[in-house]
Amino acid sequence: AEIIKLINLNMYDNNQNNEEVIILDNSIKNLNELRYYEMKTYESKDFTFYVDIKKNIRKKIAYVFFLKVFIIVLSIIITKYFSAELNTLLFPIEGILKKLKLMKTNPTLALEMQEELLNHELNTMLASANLKKYSIKEDFEILKMEENLMKLGTLMLLGFGEAGAKMISKNINEEERINLLVNGEIVYSVFSFCDIRNFTEITEMLKEKIMIFINLVAEIIHECCDFYGGSVNKNIGDAFLLVWKYDKKYVPHTNYNYSKQGGGINDYNIYDDSSDKENIKRICDSAFVSTVRTLIKLQQSEKIHLFLQNENMGQLINKNVIELSFGLHFGWAIEGAIGSTYKIDLSYLSENVNIASRLQDISKIYKNNIVISDDFYNNLSDNFKRELRKIDRVTLKGCKNPLILYTFDMKLNEIQVKKNLDKSDTFHFPLKKSKKLTKILDDIRIKTERKRRKRELSNFTYDLYKEFATSKEIQSIKVGYAAEYLELFQNALELYLNGNWNDSKKLLEYLRTNFNIEDHIVYQLLNFMNMTNFITPYDWCGYRKFLQKS
- In the predicted structure, residue 356 carries a pLDDT above the cut 60: yes
Highest average pLDDT, of 24-33, 307-316, 483-492, comes from 483-492
Residues 131-154: what's their mean pLDDT? 59
- Answer positive or negative: Cα dihedral of 10, 15, 21, 27: negative
What is d(CA 188, CA 331) in angstroms, rounded to the nearest whole number?
Answer: 5
Q: What average pLDDT does the chain have?
A: 77
Confidence label for 79 from pLDDT (cuts 50, 70 and 90): confident
Q: What is each CA distance from 480 to 222, 231, 387, in whole angstroms?
A: 29, 32, 10
Tell me 432's DSSP state.
H
What is d(CA 408, CA 370) in angstroms, rounded to the nearest whole number?
Answer: 6
Comparing 152 with 300, the larger pLDDT belongs to 300
Residue range 220-260, pLDDT digits in tens? 999 999 889 898 888 888 899 999 998 765 444 434 444 34
Backbone angles phi, psi at 338, to 5 degrees: -120, 135
- Answer positive or negative: Cα dihedral of 173, 178, 182, 186: positive
What is d(CA 225, CA 231) in angstroms, rounded to the nearest whole number?
Answer: 6
Quote the pLDDT of residue 469.
Answer: 92
| Dihedral angle computed from the Cα positions of residues 513, 516, 517 and 523, in that order, rounded to the nearest 10 degrees | 20
CB 51 within 8 A of CB 39: yes
Quote the pLDDT of residue 408.
Answer: 95
Quote the pLDDT of residue 409.
Answer: 92
What residues does 544 pair with on adjacent strands?
394
Comparing 507 with 108, the larger pLDDT belongs to 507
Residue range 25-45, pLDDT digits in tens? 555 566 666 676 677 777 777
How many CB atoms are closer than 10 A to CB 100? 12
Quote the pLDDT of residue 126.
Answer: 60
CB 374 within 8 A of CB 404: yes
The three-state secondary structure class of 330 is: strand
Q: What is each CA distance from 173 to 100, 178, 359, 364, in whole angstroms?
A: 16, 6, 39, 46
Nearest to 286 by CA among 459, 167, 166: 459
Q: Which of these ranges, 100-104, 172-176, 299-303, 367-371, has the smallest mean pLDDT? A: 172-176
Comparing 449 with 357, the larger pLDDT belongs to 357
Quote the pLDDT of residue 203.
Answer: 87
Q: What is each CA distance from 134 to 118, 124, 129, 130, 140, in whole angstroms?
A: 18, 11, 12, 9, 18
How many CB atoms are closer than 10 A to CB 12? 12
Quote the pLDDT of residue 19.
Answer: 44
Please classify residue 478 by burial: count the beta carbons closer than 10 Å to its beta carbon, then call 0-12 exposed, 13-18 middle and 19+ buried: middle
What is d(CA 494, CA 346) in angstroms, rounded to the nearest whole number?
Answer: 41
Quote the pLDDT of residue 461.
Answer: 81
Confidence label for 425 from pLDDT (cuts 50, 70 and 90): very low
Residues 443-459: what's their mean pLDDT? 74
Residue 392 belongs to what H/E stretch? strand 389-396
pTM exceeds 0.75 for this model: no
Backbone angles phi, psi at 301, to 5 degrees: -60, 115
Tell me 140's DSSP state.
P
- In the predicted structure, residue 436 carries a pLDDT above the cut 70: no
The three-state secondary structure class of 333 is: strand
Nearest to 427 by CA among 122, 201, 171: 122
- In the predicted structure, residue 424 carries a pLDDT above the cut 70: no
Q: Which of these ranges, 171-180, 201-210, 275-284, 454-463, has the smallest mean pLDDT? A: 171-180
CB 356 within 8 A of CB 193: yes
Quote the pLDDT of residue 98.
Answer: 75
Confidence label for 290 from pLDDT (cuts 50, 70 and 90): very high
Rounded to 5°, the CA angle 217-282-403 comes to 75
Quote the pLDDT of residue 530.
Answer: 93
CB 521 within 8 A of CB 368: yes
Half-sphere exposure of 1 (CA within 13 A, CB side): 0
Quote the pLDDT of residue 401.
Answer: 86
Rounded to 5°, the CA angle 63-64-66 comes to 65
Quote the pLDDT of residue 388.
Answer: 95
CB 230 within 8 A of CB 243: yes
Quote the pLDDT of residue 123.
Answer: 63
Backbone angles phi, psi at 112, to 5 degrees: -70, -40
Nearest to 365 by CA among 502, 523, 480, 497: 523
Confidence label for 5 from pLDDT (cuts 50, 70 and 90): very low
Backbone angles phi, psi at 333, to 5 degrees: -160, 160
Confidence label for 185 from pLDDT (cuts 50, 70 and 90): confident
CB 528 within 8 A of CB 495: no
- Answer positive or negative: Cα dihedral of 95, 96, 98, 102: positive
Quote the pLDDT of residue 505.
Answer: 94
Quote the pLDDT of residue 507.
Answer: 94
Quote the pLDDT of residue 508.
Answer: 93
Confidence label for 372 from pLDDT (cuts 50, 70 and 90): very high
How many CB atoms are closer than 10 A to CB 242? 28
> What single letter denotes the amino acid at residue 305?
H
CATH of domain 180-422+470-477: 3.30.70.1230
Nearest to 338 by CA among 174, 510, 193, 171: 171
Quote the pLDDT of residue 443.
Answer: 67
Three-class HEC string of 269-283: CCCCCHHHHHHHHHH
Highest average pLDDT, of 12-21, 420-429, 503-512, comes from 503-512
> What single letter denotes the amino acid at residue 237?
G
| Percentage of the chain exceeding pLDDT 90 | 33
Q: Which of these ranges, 22-31, 101-110, 482-491, 529-538, has the smallest mean pLDDT? A: 22-31
